[in-house]
Structure 1
Amino acid sequence: MRAEADEVDEAIEAELRLMDPNVRTSRGLARQLLDPEFVEVGASGQRWSYEQMLAELPNMPGNSKEGPRYEPSDMTGVVLAPGCVHLTYETTIGGRRARRSSLWRKRSEETGWQMYYHQATPIPPEAE
């Protein structure tokens, strides 16, 4: 059980690094955390590939130390298989809330944990 808890903790740490403006504005740092087969379905409904995300990430919200930043809450994870962790949580940024789901995989010690899939679903203001 400890090994599984360690995998979840490592995936959470990687997820939080992706919210760091220093990582979001650095193609090299972001590349380390995104799997080459990465796909995201954003809160806007847009589908993003690995290359699209690396190109656009520096221009997306949450990239300024002075501006609004992602505030995650209720982050939990489960090991689906060795080297595969599913995280769920909520974020708030600039007054907008979203429910998020990420799949992280670790194919080798060299690559470490990389986000394979991410989806964000907006939470309407009237939702509890």
Structure 2
Amino acid sequence: MSDETEQVEAAVAAELRLMDPAVRASRERAMDLLDPEFVEVGASGRRWTYDEMLAALPELAGATGRGPRHEPSHMTGAVLAPGLVHLTYETALGGRRVRRSSLWRRSGDTGDWRMYYHQATPVPPGRP
């Protein structure tokens, strides 16, 4: 397996962990996956910072095992530079589709993969 393939697979695994309701409900577990410089532009258009996301994540959709969860599909990744991976995919939650783009970077201190940036764009009903 190539180094690029390993990097993409590590980022995909981290992205999927971040969708796990148990991770979303735990500030400590989410901290392990979000970069301290994290920024997100959500599907609502809101800009989220690291601290804002950690505070809100347990209350956002997909954070409980009892409710609906994000169902990813069509996930692909590309290495942009050593230790920097761009993922694109789509999620469905409660009948709503969202196209997503994430940048993951490997921490120089620990070697862990952390989400640096995330963008979510709603897909209008009836669109392919």
TM-score in terms of structure 2 length = 0.97
What does residue 115 of structure 1 align with? 115
What is the aligned partner in structure 2 of residue 43 from structure 1? 43
2:43 aligned with 1:26: no
Q: 1:126: how far off?
A: 1.8
Alignment match, 1:126 = 126
Give the CA deviation at 1:111: 5.1
**Identity among equivalent pairs (%):** 64
Unaligned runs of 5+ in 2: none
RMSD: 1.0
Cα distance in 2 between the residues matched to 1:111 and 1:53: 22
User: How far off its partner does 1:107 sit?
Assistant: 2.4
| Structure 1 segments of 4+ aligned residues over 6 angstroms from their partners | none
Structure 2: how far apart are the matches of 1:30 and 1:105? 15
Residue 90 in 1 paired to residue 112 in 2? Answer: no
In structure 1, the residue matched to 2:14 is 14
In the TM superposition, residue 44 of structure 1 has moved relative to its aligned partner by 0.3
Residue pairs, 1:59-78, within 5 angstroms: 59-78=59-78
Encode CA deviations 1:80-118: one digit per residue, 9 max, x unaligned.
000000000000000000000000000226150000000
Q: How far, CA to CA, are the matches of 2:65 and 2:95 in structure 1?
A: 17
**Count of paired positions:** 128
Q: What amino acid is aligned across from residue 118 of structure 2 in structure 1?
A: H
Distance in 2 separating the partners of 1:42 and 1:114: 18
